[in-house]
A and B are shown apart, each in its own frame.
Chain A
Amino acid sequence: MSSVLEPIPPTVLSVRRLFNADPALVRGYGGDPARHVALGLVTCDQDDAMYVALDEATKHAPVDVIFARSFYAGAAHASGRLSGEVLGVIAAADPQAIEDGLAALLRCLEHDACFYDADGQRTVTVFPHVISSLGEYLSAEAGLAPGEPMAYLVAPPLEATIALDAALKAADVRVVRITPPPTETNFACAWLTGSLDACEAAAVAYAAAVVDVATTPKR
């Protein structure tokens, strides 16, 4: 119980810019070559922290998230030293927007979004993140308005199931999306919304429940 719920800071593995990307490449990765000329590419060993950080970038710079995908089986089974478990691509019309967006993204990864250790040995982890104000990217993904709060909750399969029940019962929140296991990284995910206070209460209940399951897995 000694080091439970310690933050596990995400490790940024690569950050590269493409200031004049080929239109065919932009189109292939889901962008619009008319608006997306410059790209910023980041890999990181925590996919959900990266999604939150990409959303953060859209709040600080006129950038669009054109590509963000997790890799199968997560960072522990990555295809290379720099792959991690997610590649995020932000795109903009000019390089300065990319610089501003990357700065916000890296700041969020360093100081805000991260997994937490749920059992003191980093063998069970939980991502009970509260976004107080959604950016352009996750609001579009969630079908909510930009600026609304959202709880972004991730944990391993059984832990996530028990914890989601606890979160939904702990506060006046409603489900935006439930992604049952397995996902690409074999975690389970839930997005909840409500008032900011409710989202925070739900996230805390979620984290507490994951710790509880991690401590007493058989009962």
Chain B
Amino acid sequence: MSRTRTLIAALRAELGAADPLPPPPPIPAIPAPPARVYTPRPERSGYAAHAAKHTTALVGIGHVGTRYATDVVLQFQAELAVAHAAVDAELPADWAAANGFQPVHTRATDHREFLLRPDLGRRLDEASLAAVRSQCTRGADVQIIVADGLSAVACVQSGKALADAVAAACGARGLTVGTPIAARYARVWLEDEIGQETGARVAMILLGERPGLGTGDGLSAYVVYAPRIGKTDGDRNMISNIHARGVPVEEAATRLAALASAMIAQKTSGVPLDLALLGLSRERSPRPPQVRQRLVTRGAP
């Protein structure tokens, strides 16, 4: 509405004009900007469609004009949010004790420091070192450690189940298992120090893995023979993607127990370990393709 017209209408009323003003002309509706409609074009390449069945990577997603389709963008943003939330999550301080683990802490004092200082996450603090020395069984065949790593979500969700399944699978193979330990603010190499202090023959750390797109609940397991501080990644074997849509917990437990017994039999781990002697019939079979979890559904066009 015109400010000047309002002012003058008020002055007019003040001067005593009684008859109503003619109604102001209707303000025309401002037309919406022209909508340019692009039809989503599904990926027509047979190769891309086939490849997309075997991966959760963003292949074969088609395009709309020069851009991604809206549902693809939203799915990407939702998956990124899942990953961010997983990294931000912290393992509750009483989780270890409540689930029957021996709780230990690394030298990282808070979550931010843990994220920024990987070196502090690889060593026990003084109190935890003393607890490991005094409370834990020494000289077991396999020392299992559950840890938060980069996804406390995964640790809380399936850490306990995986640790129990691995312990049962190891027991079935006649291996002794040490006191289960749960570590907070832990990195992979923490297993070297804990294994060294407990004198275990094999140390196995099960920890939340770095979240990927849409996968915030994956666990990884790293296994090392004769753990000592100073072991490198070449000395380790690992299984990743332990979650419902990847490697199921039961299958992972079977393979981890087989790995541990192969290490003890061959007295080595990592690159020198001969995986052909694992004795798992399924080991060489192709893994079924991982199915993408839809966080966004596409409505009718």
Q: Which residues of A contact B (CB under 8 A)?
A: 1-7, 9, 107, 110-114, 116, 128-130, 132, 200, 203-204, 207-208, 211
Interface residues of B, dominant DSSP:
loop
Given the contacts A7-B5, A128-B4, A207 and B11 also touching, CB distance less than 8 Å: yes
Q: How far is the CA of A201 from the CA of B11 in the complex (A)?
A: 11
Q: How far is the CA of A116 from the CA of B9 in the complex (A)?
A: 10
Pick from B17-25, B215-223, B272-280 the stretch touching chain A.
B17-25
Contacts of B1 in A (CB 8 A): 111
Contact of B3 with A by CB under 8 A: yes
Contact of B300 with A by CB under 8 A: no
Question: Which of B16, B22, B25 lies in contact with A6, CB distance below 8 A?
Answer: B22
Q: How far is the CA of A116 from the CA of B2 in the complex (A)?
A: 13
Q: Which residues of B contact A (CB under 8 A)?
A: 1-5, 7-12, 15-19, 21-22, 24-25, 27-28
A4 touches B7 (CB 8 A): no
Given the contacts A6-B22, A110-B25, A116 and B8 also touching, CB distance less than 8 Å: yes
A5 touches B3 (CB 8 A): no
Distance between A196 CB and nearest chain B CB, rounded to angstroms: 9
Distance between B236 CB and nearest chain A CB, rounded to angstroms: 63
A–B complex contacts, Cβ < 8 Å, 13 sampled? A2-B17, A2-B19, A5-B15, A7-B22, A110-B25, A111-B1, A111-B2, A114-B5, A128-B8, A200-B7, A203-B7, A207-B8, A211-B15
Distance between A183 CB and nearest chain B CB, rounded to angstroms: 21
Distance between A90 CB and nearest chain B CB, rounded to angstroms: 19
Contacts of A203 in B (CB 8 A): 4, 7
Contacts of A200 in B (CB 8 A): 3, 7
A111 touches B12 (CB 8 A): no
B8 touches A7 (CB 8 A): yes
Contacts of A5 in B (CB 8 A): 8-9, 11-12, 15, 17
Contacts of A116 in B (CB 8 A): 8
Distance between B11 CB and nearest chain A CB, rounded to angstroms: 5
Closest to A215 in B: B15
A4 touches B27 (CB 8 A): no
Question: Which of A3, A110, A130, A204 lies in contact with B11, CB distance below 8 A?
Answer: A204
Contacts of A207 in B (CB 8 A): 8, 11
Which interface residue of B12, B17, B19 has the most chain A CB atoms within 10 A? Answer: B12
A6 touches B7 (CB 8 A): no
Contacts of B7 in A (CB 8 A): 128, 130, 200, 203-204
Distance between A24 CB and nearest chain B CB, rounded to angstroms: 35
